Amino acid sequence: MIYDSILGTIGRTPIVKLQRLAPAGITLYAKCEFFNPASSVKDRLAIAIIEDAERTGALKPGQTVVEATSGNTGIALAMVCAAKGYPFVATMVETFSVERRKIMRMLGAKVILTPAAERGTGMVRKAEELAAKNGWFLANQFRNPANPAYHRSTTGPEILSDFVGRRLDYFVTGWGTGGTMTGVGEMLKLARPEVKIAVAEPENASLLAGKPFAPHKIQGWTPDFVPAVLNRTVADLLLPVSDAEAIAAARALAAQEGLFCGISSGGAIAAALKVAREAPQGSVLLAMMTDTGERYLSTALFEGIADGSDIEP
């Protein structure tokens, strides 16, 4: 395939059957969003918001784009802005992995860190302040309706197309901005109402379950607020996932399935395995795998992983 721009390669990500982790009698698939060009599901969000803003005139040629991000949205926006010729500035809580900052800077972005004590709310507030002060375009991923709309028009239909004539009982996803959960969930409920939407949350921050926020290690999942674009009604099941469960699942996916993914993808698979253990025999599950493990080299995902020579067998 030949494309005019890297942006033409966004979407149409593969669905892969897990061979070893699923319980007997259960089929578990993963939609591998790290096949997007900037290696995460947030590539969809980025192209959606920028092209919507271009169509409406909200984003002018050469105008700076600014957004609050845990990393993947910032990387995706940095890629899209680089390809289209817009300067990009990311605001980001200082505790998120350093490699995310470096990738954004490699893509031409500037990164402004906000204090850990201010959590996600602080980085959002900083982005809003910078937009107002400088006349920049605020991507506003947590409120922008273009976010879930793109998943309604791409991710959801991709899944429906891939499962034409095939059984699908559960769709499992986490939530960060709410775009994937909302857009895909709404499409599946419309076209395949028999499919149950299972939504995973950090055990320490199960906001949809009514619990207070506490810090967690599942980067990209669940800021300290519920985004405006998130449609709570699509969730049929809410599943808490601990940091340890998410990390263990991500490591198992790499070592046993050859799927090198991040902690949030591990969290989705950990949640899917919880569903699988209670599901009727023959059930078919699809889980979202949101990004690559290379975003997590400095995090708990790689703690204890040796970097020297192994002992010869």
Mapping DSSP onto H, E and C, the string for the chain reads CCCCCHHHHCCCCCEEECCCCCCCCCEEEEEEHHHCCCCECHHHHHHHHHHHHHHHCCCCCCCCEEEECCCHHHHHHHHHHHHHCCCEEEEEECCCCHHHHHHHHHCCCEEEEECHHHHHHHHHHHHHHHHHHHCCEECCCCCCCHHHHHHHHHHHHHHHHHCCCCCCCEEEECCCCCHHHHHHHHHHHHHCCCCEEEEEEEHHHCCCCCCCCCCCCCCCCCCCCCCCCCCHHHCCEEEEECHHHHHHHHHHHHHHHCCCECHHHHHHHHHHHHHHHHCCCCCEEEEEECEEHHHHCCCHHHCCCCCCCCCCC
pLDDT tens, position by position, 245-290 = 999 999 999 999 999 999 999 999 999 999 999 999 999 999 999 9
pLDDT tens, residue by residue, 201-241 = 999 999 999 999 999 999 889 989 999 999 999 999 999 99
Whether residue 271 is contained in a domain is answered as yes
Please indicate, yes or no, if residue 310 is contained in any of the structural domains. Answer: no
At 125 the pLDDT is 97
HSE on the CB side for 49, CA within 13 Å?
Answer: 28
Give me the CATH number covering residue 127.
Answer: 3.40.50.1100
161 is catalytic: no
Query: Is residue 293 included in any domain, yes or no?
Result: yes
Q: Is the pLDDT of residue 97 over 90?
A: no
The yes-or-no verdict on residue 141 having pLDDT over 90 is yes
With a cut of 90, say whether residue 195 has pLDDT above it: yes
- Is 147 domain-assigned? no
- Cα angle at 281 between 277 and 286, to 5 degrees? 65
Q: What is the pLDDT of residue 197?
A: 98
Q: Kindly tell me if the per-residue pLDDT of 96 is higher than 90.
A: no
Buried b (16+ CB within 10 A) or exposed e, 288-313: bbbbbbebbeebebeeeeeeeeeeee
Per-residue model confidence (pLDDT) at position 312? 85
Whether 291 and 180 map to the same domain: the answer is yes
Residue 235 counted as domain residue: yes
Q: What is the pLDDT of residues 63-75, one digit of tens each?
A: 999 999 989 999 9
Query: Is 10 part of a structural domain of the chain?
Result: yes
Same-domain status, 124 and 240: no
213 and 195 housed in the same domain: yes
Do 21 and 49 sit in the same domain of this protein? no
pLDDT of residue 112: 97
- From the list 31, 42, 189, 274, the catalytic residue is 42
Mean pLDDT computed over 177-184 = 97
Q: Give the contacts of 5 (CB within 8 A, at least 6 positions apart).
A: 83
> 160 with 207, same domain?
yes
Q: Do 128 and 257 have their domain in common?
A: no
Label residue 190 exposed, middle or buried (CB < 10 Å: 0-12, 13-18, 19+): exposed
At 70 the pLDDT is 87
Residue type, 220: G
In a domain? residue 11: yes
Same domain, 295 and 212: yes
Residue 161: band (very low, low, confident or very high) from pLDDT cuts 50, 70, 90: very high
Q: For the chain, what is the domain count?
A: 2
Q: What pTM was estimated for this model as a whole?
A: 0.95
Residue 19 shares a structural domain with residue 122: no
pLDDT confidence of 56, banded at 50, 70, 90? very high
Say what percent of the chain tops pLDDT 70: 100
The per-residue pLDDT of the chain, averaged, comes to 96
Active site residue 153: no
* Alpha-carbon gap, residue 203 to 205, rounded angstroms: 6
**Nearest residue to 170 (alpha-carbon basis) of 28, 291, 59:** 28
The answer on 167 and 32 residing in a single domain is yes
The confidence score (pLDDT) of residue 220 equals: 86
Under 8 Å CB-to-CB from 218, ≥6 apart: which residues?
Answer: 174, 202, 241, 243, 246, 263, 264, 267
State the Cα–Cα distance between residues 197 and 56, nearest whole angstrom: 33
Per the document, the length of the chain is 313
Q: How are strands ordered across the β-sheet holding 110-114?
A: 110-114, 88-93, 65-68, 137-138
Query: Is 230 found in the same domain as 88?
Result: no
* pLDDT of 313 over the 90 cut: no
Q: Residues 178, 295: one domain?
A: yes
**Residue 55: Cβ-neighbour burial (10 angstroms; 0-12, 13-18, 19+):** exposed
Report if residue 32 sits inside a domain: yes
Give me the pLDDT at residue 189, please.
97
Choosing from 40, 97, 264, 265, which is the catalytic residue? Answer: 264
176 and 117 in a common domain:
no
- The whole domain housing 102 covers 42-138
